[in-house]
Amino acid sequence: MLLEIKDLHASIGDKEILKGINLTIKPGEVHAIMGPNGAGKSTLSSVLAGNPAFTVTKGEALFNGKDLLKMSPEERSWEGMFLGFQYPVEIPGVSMVNFMRAAVNEHRKYKGEEPMSASDFLKLMREKRAVVELDNKLANRSVNEGFSGGEKKRNEIFQMAMLEPKLSILDETDSGLDIDALRVVSEGVNKLKSQDNATIVITHYQRLLDYIRPEFIHVLYKGRIVKSGGPELALELEERGYDWIREEND
Protein backbone atom coordinates (compact mmCIF):
# COMPACT_ATOMS: atom_id res chain seq x y z
CA MET A 1 0.00 0.00 0.00
CA LEU A 2 1.40 3.39 -0.98
CA LEU A 3 -1.09 5.67 0.74
CA GLU A 4 -3.83 4.89 3.24
CA ILE A 5 -6.00 7.72 4.48
CA LYS A 6 -8.49 6.97 7.23
CA ASP A 7 -11.19 9.35 8.47
CA LEU A 8 -9.04 12.43 7.88
CA HIS A 9 -10.38 15.70 9.27
CA ALA A 10 -8.65 19.03 8.80
CA SER A 11 -9.39 22.66 9.54
CA ILE A 12 -8.09 26.09 8.91
CA GLY A 13 -8.66 28.39 11.84
CA ASP A 14 -11.82 26.97 13.37
CA LYS A 15 -13.33 26.12 10.01
CA GLU A 16 -13.45 22.39 9.33
CA ILE A 17 -12.85 21.70 5.66
CA LEU A 18 -12.06 18.00 5.44
CA LYS A 19 -14.71 16.00 7.23
CA GLY A 20 -13.61 12.38 7.14
CA ILE A 21 -11.65 11.40 4.04
CA ASN A 22 -10.98 7.71 3.31
CA LEU A 23 -8.74 6.80 0.40
CA THR A 24 -6.34 3.99 -0.43
CA ILE A 25 -3.79 4.03 -3.23
CA LYS A 26 -1.52 1.25 -4.44
CA PRO A 27 1.65 1.56 -6.49
CA GLY A 28 0.98 1.72 -10.23
CA GLU A 29 -2.51 3.22 -9.83
CA VAL A 30 -3.84 6.46 -11.23
CA HIS A 31 -6.71 8.14 -9.41
CA ALA A 32 -8.72 11.21 -10.30
CA ILE A 33 -10.45 13.40 -7.76
CA MET A 34 -13.24 15.59 -9.05
CA GLY A 35 -15.79 17.72 -7.33
CA PRO A 36 -17.32 21.20 -7.35
CA ASN A 37 -15.39 24.36 -6.46
CA GLY A 38 -14.71 24.70 -2.78
CA ALA A 39 -15.26 21.01 -2.04
CA GLY A 40 -11.85 20.64 -0.41
CA LYS A 41 -9.73 19.07 -3.17
CA SER A 42 -6.84 21.51 -2.81
CA THR A 43 -7.14 21.33 0.94
CA LEU A 44 -6.73 17.56 0.81
CA SER A 45 -3.62 17.88 -1.34
CA SER A 46 -2.19 20.62 0.89
CA VAL A 47 -2.77 18.53 4.00
CA LEU A 48 -1.09 15.52 2.41
CA ALA A 49 1.90 17.67 1.47
CA GLY A 50 2.07 19.04 5.02
CA ASN A 51 1.06 22.67 4.59
CA PRO A 52 1.32 24.09 8.14
CA ALA A 53 -1.58 26.46 7.43
CA PHE A 54 -3.96 23.51 8.00
CA THR A 55 -4.48 21.53 11.18
CA VAL A 56 -5.34 17.87 11.11
CA THR A 57 -7.88 17.34 13.85
CA LYS A 58 -8.62 13.64 13.41
CA GLY A 59 -7.72 10.58 11.42
CA GLU A 60 -4.56 9.07 10.04
CA ALA A 61 -2.52 8.77 6.89
CA LEU A 62 0.12 6.16 6.19
CA PHE A 63 2.61 6.69 3.39
CA ASN A 64 4.80 3.68 2.59
CA GLY A 65 3.54 2.39 5.93
CA LYS A 66 4.95 5.40 7.77
CA ASP A 67 2.96 7.99 9.66
CA LEU A 68 2.68 10.77 7.09
CA LEU A 69 1.12 13.29 9.42
CA LYS A 70 4.14 13.29 11.70
CA MET A 71 6.52 14.26 8.90
CA SER A 72 7.61 17.74 7.92
CA PRO A 73 6.80 18.82 4.36
CA GLU A 74 10.41 18.23 3.30
CA GLU A 75 10.46 14.73 4.80
CA ARG A 76 7.29 13.89 2.89
CA SER A 77 9.02 15.06 -0.27
CA TRP A 78 12.09 12.94 0.50
CA GLU A 79 9.79 9.96 1.11
CA GLY A 80 8.38 10.42 -2.39
CA MET A 81 5.38 12.73 -2.06
CA PHE A 82 4.96 15.39 -4.72
CA LEU A 83 2.34 18.10 -4.94
CA GLY A 84 1.81 19.94 -8.19
CA PHE A 85 0.27 23.18 -6.96
CA GLN A 86 -2.97 24.56 -8.33
CA TYR A 87 -1.39 27.98 -7.94
CA PRO A 88 2.39 27.65 -8.14
CA VAL A 89 4.10 30.30 -6.02
CA GLU A 90 6.35 32.98 -7.48
CA ILE A 91 9.63 33.38 -5.63
CA PRO A 92 11.40 36.49 -6.87
CA GLY A 93 15.17 36.35 -6.78
CA VAL A 94 15.45 32.59 -6.19
CA SER A 95 16.62 31.03 -9.43
CA MET A 96 15.08 27.81 -10.71
CA VAL A 97 18.57 26.33 -10.92
CA ASN A 98 19.49 27.06 -7.30
CA PHE A 99 16.08 25.96 -6.08
CA MET A 100 16.19 22.66 -7.95
CA ARG A 101 19.80 22.02 -7.01
CA ALA A 102 18.91 22.46 -3.35
CA ALA A 103 15.90 20.16 -3.74
CA VAL A 104 17.74 17.43 -5.64
CA ASN A 105 20.69 17.46 -3.27
CA GLU A 106 18.47 17.26 -0.19
CA HIS A 107 16.78 14.23 -1.74
CA ARG A 108 20.18 12.66 -2.38
CA LYS A 109 21.33 13.40 1.13
CA TYR A 110 18.25 11.65 2.50
CA LYS A 111 19.20 8.59 0.48
CA GLY A 112 22.76 8.84 1.72
CA GLU A 113 24.12 9.97 -1.63
CA GLU A 114 26.71 12.64 -2.38
CA PRO A 115 25.59 15.97 -3.83
CA MET A 116 25.52 16.04 -7.61
CA SER A 117 28.34 17.64 -9.51
CA ALA A 118 27.48 20.87 -11.30
CA SER A 119 27.80 19.30 -14.73
CA ASP A 120 25.73 16.23 -13.86
CA PHE A 121 23.09 18.48 -12.41
CA LEU A 122 22.86 20.65 -15.50
CA LYS A 123 22.67 17.52 -17.63
CA LEU A 124 19.77 16.26 -15.52
CA MET A 125 18.03 19.62 -15.84
CA ARG A 126 18.40 19.47 -19.61
CA GLU A 127 17.10 15.93 -19.84
CA LYS A 128 14.05 16.58 -17.67
CA ARG A 129 13.26 19.86 -19.33
CA ALA A 130 12.82 17.94 -22.54
CA VAL A 131 10.09 15.81 -20.93
CA VAL A 132 7.77 18.83 -20.77
CA GLU A 133 9.47 20.92 -23.44
CA LEU A 134 10.23 23.61 -20.87
CA ASP A 135 12.13 26.50 -22.39
CA ASN A 136 15.70 26.92 -21.19
CA LYS A 137 14.99 30.60 -20.63
CA LEU A 138 12.41 29.70 -18.00
CA ALA A 139 14.81 27.38 -16.23
CA ASN A 140 17.24 30.25 -15.87
CA ARG A 141 14.74 32.66 -14.36
CA SER A 142 13.45 33.11 -10.82
CA VAL A 143 11.02 30.43 -9.67
CA ASN A 144 7.71 31.01 -11.51
CA GLU A 145 8.34 34.73 -11.61
CA GLY A 146 6.63 36.24 -14.62
CA PHE A 147 5.76 32.76 -15.96
CA SER A 148 2.44 32.55 -17.79
CA GLY A 149 -0.26 30.35 -16.28
CA GLY A 150 0.59 27.51 -18.67
CA GLU A 151 4.34 27.88 -18.12
CA LYS A 152 3.86 27.57 -14.38
CA LYS A 153 2.02 24.27 -14.84
CA ARG A 154 4.69 22.93 -17.15
CA ASN A 155 7.23 23.92 -14.56
CA GLU A 156 5.39 21.82 -11.97
CA ILE A 157 5.68 18.72 -14.15
CA PHE A 158 9.31 19.54 -14.85
CA GLN A 159 9.99 19.53 -11.10
CA MET A 160 8.09 16.28 -10.77
CA ALA A 161 10.34 14.81 -13.45
CA MET A 162 13.42 16.06 -11.58
CA LEU A 163 12.36 14.52 -8.27
CA GLU A 164 10.86 11.22 -9.51
CA PRO A 165 8.26 10.94 -6.75
CA LYS A 166 6.39 7.80 -5.68
CA LEU A 167 3.08 9.63 -5.35
CA SER A 168 2.26 12.70 -7.40
CA ILE A 169 -0.76 14.79 -6.60
CA LEU A 170 -1.46 17.08 -9.53
CA ASP A 171 -3.89 19.78 -8.50
CA GLU A 172 -5.58 21.14 -11.62
CA THR A 173 -2.39 20.93 -13.59
CA ASP A 174 -4.54 21.04 -16.72
CA SER A 175 -6.18 24.37 -16.03
CA GLY A 176 -4.63 27.24 -17.94
CA LEU A 177 -2.98 24.96 -20.49
CA ASP A 178 -3.63 25.38 -24.19
CA ILE A 179 -4.39 22.28 -26.24
CA ASP A 180 -0.78 21.59 -27.22
CA ALA A 181 0.48 22.19 -23.69
CA LEU A 182 -2.17 19.88 -22.32
CA ARG A 183 -0.91 17.12 -24.62
CA VAL A 184 2.73 17.78 -23.72
CA VAL A 185 2.04 17.83 -20.00
CA SER A 186 -0.15 14.70 -20.12
CA GLU A 187 2.43 12.85 -22.15
CA GLY A 188 5.01 13.98 -19.61
CA VAL A 189 2.92 12.51 -16.81
CA ASN A 190 2.44 9.29 -18.76
CA LYS A 191 6.18 8.98 -19.43
CA LEU A 192 6.88 9.27 -15.73
CA LYS A 193 4.31 6.63 -14.81
CA SER A 194 5.59 3.25 -13.66
CA GLN A 195 4.67 0.11 -11.72
CA ASP A 196 6.13 1.62 -8.57
CA ASN A 197 4.61 5.05 -8.49
CA ALA A 198 1.10 6.40 -8.40
CA THR A 199 -0.67 9.57 -9.43
CA ILE A 200 -3.66 11.51 -8.18
CA VAL A 201 -4.98 14.03 -10.64
CA ILE A 202 -7.41 16.66 -9.48
CA THR A 203 -9.33 18.08 -12.38
CA HIS A 204 -12.61 19.49 -13.57
CA TYR A 205 -12.22 18.28 -17.14
CA GLN A 206 -12.58 15.05 -19.06
CA ARG A 207 -9.95 16.30 -21.55
CA LEU A 208 -7.09 15.51 -19.20
CA LEU A 209 -8.60 12.16 -18.27
CA ASP A 210 -8.73 11.21 -21.95
CA TYR A 211 -4.96 11.45 -21.96
CA ILE A 212 -4.09 10.14 -18.54
CA ARG A 213 -6.80 7.47 -18.22
CA PRO A 214 -7.15 6.96 -14.47
CA GLU A 215 -8.70 3.67 -13.31
CA PHE A 216 -10.33 5.24 -10.25
CA ILE A 217 -12.54 8.32 -10.07
CA HIS A 218 -13.58 9.91 -6.76
CA VAL A 219 -16.01 12.70 -6.15
CA LEU A 220 -15.16 15.01 -3.29
CA TYR A 221 -18.05 17.03 -1.95
CA LYS A 222 -18.17 19.14 1.19
CA GLY A 223 -15.04 17.61 2.63
CA ARG A 224 -15.95 13.96 2.00
CA ILE A 225 -15.46 11.47 -0.79
CA VAL A 226 -19.10 10.82 -1.58
CA LYS A 227 -18.71 8.62 -4.63
CA SER A 228 -16.04 6.44 -6.17
CA GLY A 229 -16.09 4.51 -9.41
CA GLY A 230 -14.34 3.70 -12.68
CA PRO A 231 -13.76 5.91 -15.75
CA GLU A 232 -17.49 5.87 -16.49
CA LEU A 233 -18.11 8.04 -13.41
CA ALA A 234 -16.10 10.88 -14.94
CA LEU A 235 -18.13 10.65 -18.13
CA GLU A 236 -21.33 10.72 -16.16
CA LEU A 237 -20.19 13.86 -14.31
CA GLU A 238 -19.21 15.46 -17.61
CA GLU A 239 -22.73 14.82 -18.87
CA ARG A 240 -24.84 15.50 -15.81
CA GLY A 241 -22.82 18.01 -13.75
CA TYR A 242 -22.85 17.94 -9.94
CA ASP A 243 -26.53 18.60 -9.20
CA TRP A 244 -27.34 14.94 -8.71
CA ILE A 245 -24.37 14.61 -6.32
CA ARG A 246 -25.67 17.58 -4.34
CA GLU A 247 -29.17 16.12 -4.27
CA GLU A 248 -27.92 12.78 -3.07
CA ASN A 249 -25.85 14.33 -0.29
CA ASP A 250 -27.53 17.50 0.99
Ligand X SMILES: Nc1ncnc2c1ncn2[C@@H]1O[C@H](COP(=O)(O)OP(=O)(O)OP(=O)(O)O)[C@@H](O)[C@H]1O
Residues contributing to the site for Mg ion (CB under 5 A): 41-42, 86
Q: Are 220 and 35 in contact (CB under 8 A)?
A: yes
Binding mask 9-48 for another protein (x = CB under 8 A): ----------------------------------------
Phi and psi torsions of 10, nearest 5°: -150, 150
- 73 belongs to the binding site for another protein (CB under 8 A): yes
Partner that binds at residue 43, options Mg ion, another protein, ligand X, none, CB closer than 5 to 8 Å by kind: ligand X
Going along 101-151, which residue ranges are E strands?
142-143
Confirm if 34 and 56 have CB atoms less than 8 A apart. no
Longest alpha-carbon distance in the chain: 58
Q: Tell whether residue 50 is a contact of another protein (CB under 8 A).
A: yes
11 contributes a contact to ligand X by CB under 6 A: no
Pairing of β 167-171 and β 198-202: parallel
Interface with ligand X includes 43 (CB under 6 A)? yes
Residue 44 has, within 13 A of its CA and on its CB side, a CA count of: 35
Cα distance between the two ends of the chain:
33
- Our CB check for ligand X shows the closer of 141 and 204 to be 204
The least distance separating ligand X from the CB of residue 224, rounded to whole angstroms, comes to 12
Nearer to ligand X, 78 or 82 (CB): 82
Is 12 a residue that touches ligand X (CB under 6 A)? Answer: yes
| Smallest separation (angstroms) from ligand X to the CB of 13 | 6
| Interface pick for another protein out of 163, 181, 184, 225 (rule CB under 8 A) | 163
Q: Which part of the chain contacts another protein (CB under 8 A), choosing from 17-25, 103-111, 176-184, 197-205?
A: 103-111
How far CA 74 is from CA of 2, 78, 83, 107, 138, in Å, comes to 18, 6, 12, 9, 24
Number of residues that bind ligand X (CB under 6 A): 13
* CA 55 – CA 13 distance, rounded (Å): 8
* Residue type, position 179, single letter: I
Label residues 35-56 b or e (16+ Cβ within 10 Å = b): bbeebbbbbbbbbbbbeeebeb
The smaller minimum CB distance to another protein, of residues 83 and 182, is found at 83
What gap in Å lies between CA 99 and CA 143, rounded to an integer? Answer: 8
Binding site for another protein (CB under 8 A): 49-53, 72-74, 76-78, 82-83, 85, 88-94, 98-100, 102-103, 106-107, 110, 142-143, 159, 163
Binding site for ligand X (CB under 6 A): 12, 15, 17, 35, 37-43, 53, 86
